[in-house]
Chains A and B, each alone.
Chain A
Amino acid sequence: MSVTLDIRLKRANKVYHEGESVAGVVLLVCKEALQHHGVALTMEGLVNLQLSSKSVGVFEAFYNSVKPIQLISSNVEVAKAGKIPAGKTEIPFEFPLSTKGNKVLYETYHGVFVNIQYTLRCDMKRPLLAKDLSRNCEFIVHCQPQKAKVVPTPVHFTITPATLQNARERSLLPKFLVKGHLDATSCVISQPLTGELVVESSEVPVKSIELQLVRVETCGCAEGYARDATEIQNIQIAEGDVCHGLPIPIYMVFPRLFTSPTLETTNFKVEFEVNVVIVLHDDHLITENFPLKLSRV
């Protein structure tokens, strides 16, 4: 006896905001009539925090204390125990997306040490000998637009051997001059990071220029914290010995799910940075770091 259970959300993009209703249908398709002990639907929003392996030793004491933070949770029975007729059955549902008390619905974020995830789970209890059916469906929460207006301020930069911080033998470095700007480091998450970069001169030919988007996740509590920076994505904007003096566009779309508005709570922080990475033909690697502030408008 085959049966499929599915959750279909009304919105194609599955994006919801606090205060809205998450609506959809539970879809059941079976060839013949089906006996069950009730169909339940659960909505849950969780923040999962994890410590990096390198931090484990240091904070062993509080390692185990990092528990998921529940943001929202509700449960409803969509069908009482009974029979479902053969064929396709759609059971509509609607959950109000609102929190209890002073809790805030953070935006959906898939990170390494911090994960903020919202799910709908549908469970169908079935009589003995038949396996219970369960179905998960993630939906996405976008936080409310920030009230404060974001005014883009261009950030100009010049990179030469002299501006490098950790170079040991500055005199051994090949000469180069790279100028450019980012149109803003306070970015709207739904809009790309933009700017321009000009290789004015370079003694050694350029091999590649890349934009490295980095997440900086901090998990902690009163006892201490762990801060880890990991790469989200790396976007090459120049390949090979590019024309000197010609502005090259800086352009990067913030990936969905993997970025969220910059977030700072008592238990964890999610921040973002971008590195402009210039790789020279002799494999010299030059990095210029820009902290970003992401927001949703």
Chain B
Amino acid sequence: QRTFSKIVYDTELQRCRPEAALVEFGDYHPLKPIMVTDTKTRHGARKGSTSSSSSSSSSVAPDPLSSMLDGTDPLSMFAAASVIEAPAMSHSRKEKEEEAVGPDFETWSSKRGEILARFTTTEKLSINLFMGSDRGKAPSPGSSAVSEKVRTRLEELDDLEEGSQKELLNLSQQEYANRIEELNQSLKEAWASDQKVKALKIVIQCSKLLSDTSVIQFYPSKFVLITDILDTFGRLVYDRIWTMCSDPRPLTDSFTVEDVNDTAKETCLNWFFKIASIRELLPRLYVEAAILKCNRFLNKCGIPETLPRLTAMIRGIGDPLVAAYARAYLCRVGMEVAPHLKDSLNRNFFDLLGTFRQVSSDSVQNQLVLQRVEVPEYLTLYSPAVNWILQCIAYRAPEDYVICAEIWVEFTCRHFSKREVNTVLADVIKHMTPDRAFEDAYPQLQSVIRKILTYFHDFSLLFSMERFLPFLDMFQKDSVRVEVCRSIMDIFIRHQEEPSRDPVILNAMLHICKTMHDSVNALTLEDEKRSLALLIIGFIRMVSFGRDFEQQLSFCVEARATFCNLESVLVQLIHTVNQLAMETSRVMRGNHSRKTAAFVRACAAYSFITIPSLSSIFSRLSLYLLSGQVALANQCLSQADAFLKAAVSLLPEVPRSISVEGKLRSSESFLMDFINNFLATLLVVPDHPEHGVLYLVRGLLNMVQDYTWEDNSDAKVRVYISALPLLAAMSQETYLYSIPKVDSNETLYGGDPKFLSEINKLSETLIGQILDHLKALGRDEVRQQPLAFSLFGVLLAHGDLRNNKLSQLAVNLWNLSHKYGHCETRVSVRTLECMKHQAQQADMTHLSDTVQRLALQSRT
């Protein structure tokens, strides 16, 4: 029976043979010089002909692969010729890319040497070639019925096989390699002498050797040697059919099925039928894979349909190592022909994983025991195959790659240390950088960052990963980049528990914050700016150099330069520096050394030059005031003076209305608040020795007077009223409050009558102005009465009512404010009660007289 199936090959082959001879080459043919020897006759002597490709490989060139690829190869000559002759026929670039791998793919030839060197053995090897394995069996019923002609042919064939039916034992590794190379040569010779059946038999027998796993540690090398032969065979068949199509002109590299003539198609089809009837699984698989490329001659979908089928076919291989290498071979030929068909590559990998449990099956384990191979060593035998399959899958597959990487990174983060995560990051960078592949994978790359941030809250650890910042560099689209920085900052602010001085963290964070800052431009929305600023501020607040204040200050200097476009960050920096000055003072317990004094002055200088760069006038005012206070607290009198003077001179610039949360509002109340606050500070500011008495107070009041207040506003008078308590406080022997180590005016003047009279004069002037204003308001009692009442309140609280004139003034003001009954009766009643209560104290009895004179208008 089996004998009969052999006849199948035979007749199929016989038929494919004569057609080949049909092709005739005209004189004009460009291939003539190298291809003349290919004219063959069906019968009779073979005219000692060899094709150029085989003769070049039988020369001294040691590697048959590379010799096939040199310039003399007819294929490349076709290609070169077709470029010149038929430029119009060249396909689009995209199509070309699909059909071949680029130079960025590490080729098999670069791997094979490495594998051969790595997987060696000193054990004896054997080669079993059963070229005539079907012979000698009981004749099938069919054989007697075979026609005479077929039988003759069969005998001819058997004669060809004589001598090749042998078992070679006790071969050393080198001998084995030599034998295989001999087979490679006899394959080429058989082919060249038109013995296609013999050629096929050689290839089938060689493929069969791959199911033999004895001396298993040599298997990877065996795979390399034998697949060399398969490659040779695949090339021979392909080139043969190719040359059959060279009439009227040679095929181009990008030929289509329509360009192939019927004879060539029929020959090609014959090969596939023949291979389909190979009895054993492994040879059938390998040989069909070897001529996979020939599908191009038959139909367009041949390769996309064959690859999945062969992939599934490998499931029939029970030995996991044999199967793994079969997969590697299929991926190898698949990559050569159709690198864009990723599904089959993936399928191979998943099937490999799915059948990996076979490794622990009894058949494998028994074999290992028998061959005395330990499991770890056995597993390394898989590495070239797995490595190759993965390389194929990863080739130009950033999309698939990054989807996997996204998952793997989580796995790595969860179960491994930063070292492994760093490795994953490095790999992602390596894959995503060529061709700017990262541009299409921002969501996945962002997800990678998110996952890392979920597991790594220790930022010194995070930033000590070498590849973390380079990874961030892949986010080159501004919006994405900022978003990523934002997410990092967000985690940092939420999870960084202690302020840090770690230079790794600081450099990295500064880099990230700078990125966020630099994204700000004229079109950035206020909200966006605010949220970015908040994040940067969050970072600044987490920076602490401990006792190294100078370092901290220089950090602030650097930060100011870096974040100059975000006002609120600058504000924060000024606060930070002020805080730094106060911290210095605290550390020195208020006694600055020469060095710390210089330092706090430097702090003041920092603030002083930073404040003018702010655009918000109230920020400037309040920071001048605050910095002045800090300077004062640090005994930097001239600096404090400078701050306060700057604030005063800024006042005229305050606009009447400011924008608050997008709405235009009157600035008056803000200004009033500031001035009151300022006045309170002025109490402790000693007069400058070179300027006159109450220089700053006068300056402030002058500014208030000259300021263009809103029409119909009483603000100016209110300021005057507020200034009176300050003047009263200044005239006290001992001030209500003072700053340690700073002599206020009380000490400077020591209650000098001249000083007091200055204060009095100033008070009189103010009161005069207030009264003028009240008068001017005339019958506008709605505005007049509250003013009158507040002046009354100030006189009551700060004035000496034993003075009759003042007492009378108070009474008048009371009456004025109650004249029209617009006053809150409850406030009036409580005021009276309070006065009566005070009058009971010693030295205050005079108040009771005044109280008597204050009539409370009964409500009608």
Contact = CB atoms under 8 A, between A and B. Distances in A.
Interface stretch (A71-79, A152-160, A166-174, A231-239): A231-239
Name the residue among A8, A50, A234 with the largest chain B CB count within 10 angstroms: A234
Contacts of B848: none
Interface in B5-20: 5, 8, 11-12, 19
Interface in A201-257: 205-206, 209, 228, 230-243, 246-249, 251-253, 255-257
Given A246-B355, A253-B273, A233 B315 contact: no
Given A112-B145, A247-B315, A256 B273 contact: yes
A183 to B, nearest CB: 13
A28 to B, nearest CB: 15
Contact of B316 (A205, A228, A239): A239
A206 B358 CA distance: 13
A130 B319 CA distance: 64
Contact of A234 (B2, B269, B312, B357): B2
A52 B312 contact: no
Nearest to B283: A236
Interface residues of A, number: 41
Interface centre among B4, B147, B263, B357 (most CB of A within 10 A): B4
Given A53-B141, A113-B145, A251-B313, A243 B318 contact: yes
Nearest to A113: B145
A234 B8 CA distance: 12
Nearest to A199: B318
Interface string B342-363: 0000000000001101100111
Contact of B281 (A206, A231, A236): A236
B363 A228 contact: no
B5 A232 contact: yes
A266 interface: no
Contact of B315 (A241, A243, A253): A243
Contact of A235 (B147, B211, B277, B315): B277
A207 B317 CA distance: 10
Contacts, number: 120
B284 interface: yes
Nearest to B316: A238
Interface string A1-23: 00000001001110000000000
Nearest to A256: B273
B280 interface: yes
A133 to B, nearest CB: 14
A206 B313 CA distance: 16
Contact of A239 (B22, B277, B309, B318): B318
B702 interface: no
A77 to B, nearest CB: 26
A248 B141 contact: no
B318 A255 contact: no
A240 B277 contact: no
A12 B263 contact: yes
B144 interface: yes
B317 A255 contact: no
A241 B281 contact: no
B324 to A, nearest CB: 12
A233 B140 CA distance: 12
B48 interface: no
A63 B429 CA distance: 81
A13 B261 CA distance: 11
A251 B317 CA distance: 14
A112 B142 contact: yes
A237 B318 CA distance: 11
A243 B358 contact: yes
Contacts of A253: 273, 276-277
Interface string B236-263: 0000000000000000000000000111
B216 to A, nearest CB: 14
B560 interface: no
B273 A239 contact: no
Contact of B309 (A11, A113, A230, A251): A251
A53 B315 contact: no
Nearest to B265: A12
A113 B277 CA distance: 21
Contacts of B211: 239-240
Contacts of A13: 262, 266, 269
B354 A246 contact: yes
B141 A246 contact: no
- Which of B273, B317, B318 counts the most A-chain CB atoms under 10 A from its CB? B318
A43 B174 CA distance: 59
B363 A235 contact: no
Nearest to B5: A233
Contacts of B309: 249, 251
Contacts of A241: 318-319, 358, 361-363
Interface string B464-498: 00000000000000000000000000000000000
A239 B281 contact: yes
Contact of B284 (A235, A240, A242): A235
Contacts of A252: 276
A12 B262 contact: yes
Contact of A231 (B4, B261, B284): B4
A113 B265 CA distance: 32
A231 B140 contact: yes
A117 to B, nearest CB: 9
Interface of B: 1-2, 4-5, 8, 11-12, 19, 22, 140-142, 144-145, 147, 211, 261-263, 265-266, 269, 273, 276-277, 279-282, 284, 309, 312-313, 315-319, 322, 354-355, 357-358, 361-363
7 A-B pairs with the lowest CB-CB distances in the bound complex, closest first:
A240-B318, A238-B316, A12-B262, A253-B276, A231-B1, A241-B318, A241-B363
8 contacts: A13-B266, A54-B141, A236-B279, A239-B280, A240-B318, A240-B363, A242-B315, A251-B309
Given A206-B318, A243-B354, A243-B355, 16 more contacts: A53-B141, A112-B4, A113-B145, A230-B1, A230-B4, A233-B277, A234-B1, A234-B2, A236-B279, A236-B316, A238-B281, A238-B318, A239-B211, A240-B211, A248-B316, A249-B313
